[in-house]
Amino acid sequence: MSPPNPAEPAVVTDRAARRALVVELVLVFSITLGLSGLRSLLSLVDSLLRPQPLSEQQVAINVPQATVGVIDLLKQLLSVVQLVGWGALGLYLLWRGGMRLARIGLDRGWPGRDVRWGIALTAVIGLPGLALYFAAWQLGFNLAVQPSTLGEHWWRPITLSLAAFGNAFAEEVLVVGYLLTRLRQLGVRENPALLAAAVLRGSYHLYQGLGGFVGNVLMGLIFGRVWQRTNRLWPLVIAHTLLDVVAFIGYALVRDHVSWLP
């Protein structure tokens, strides 16, 4: 049995209400992932202006934030809280506008199916994404990405797992559930809306290089289309979390034992 596909939200026709939605979108993304996209673009320009090729430069995702262990732990946890807060902001604005969480697929009605879809998406994205990254790195289009440079603290697997969930929750809620819903309300057709959301996803990965941008645009196209067809957001959150857990914790475990990793 397939999960229900709730009716799409009605297109907003009132001029003042449409203007309010546009302002809301600008404000939300100017303090969350849109701002991250602009910062990533500047980071990429800075990397391109350096004398070293991109493939000889490194960038880390999860880095120490303090020299004292307990303070570093607390700051790592605060970063997770910020990410969850970003996603919660998008959910609150949708709810405040009269939309139930079931409308975007964050209800608890189909846990088994959501998990299976999440695992399937992890497999579809994971290995091809890794191959694309290594190809882009070897060809000089990508920096060497270090998923984690945290020290061997007892709390490292915990914070990396929480960071994986925080990233997944913020990105999938804002870039898929929130943005695509608002674009539907503004009357934007499905394909242009999907492309816009995918490019946004790619933009805040530009700090990794062109390979990171292209890979995440492709991931955004797949994830966004799955949501447009199913209106289920949990599978995307689950898949994204699993991908990041494998990348963050897996890299931390093997980086000192595999010579060809950056």
Does residue 2 lie in a domain region? no
Question: In angstroms, what CA-CA distances link 222 with 23, 93, 225?
Answer: 28, 25, 5
**What pLDDT was estimated at residue 253?**
75
Tell me, yes or no, whether 68 lies in a domain: yes
- Does residue 6 fall inside a structural domain? no
| Neighbouring residues of 32: CB distance < 8 A, sequence distance ≥ 6 | 86, 89, 170, 174
Domain count, the chain: 1
Instruction: State the Cα–Cα distance between residues 201 and 224, nearest whole angstrom.
Output: 10
Q: Which residues pair with 142 in a beta bridge?
A: 209
Residue 4 located in a structural domain:
no
**pLDDT digits over 218-242, tens only?**
999 999 999 999 999 999 999 999 9
Check residue 250 and give its pLDDT. 84
pLDDT in tens, 153-166: 999 999 999 999 99
Token match 């897996």: residue?
250
* Residue 167 resides in a domain: yes
Which tokens go with 63?
A: 């880095």
Separation of alpha carbons 244 and 239, rounded Å: 9
Residue 261 lies in a domain: no
132 within a domain of the structure (yes/no): yes
106 occurs within a structural domain: yes
**Residue 217's domain spans which residues?**
15-254
pLDDT band of 6, cuts 50, 70, 90: low
Of all residues in the chain, the percent with pLDDT exceeding 70 is 94
pLDDT digits (tens, 9 = 90+) for 117-143: 999 999 999 989 989 999 999 999 999
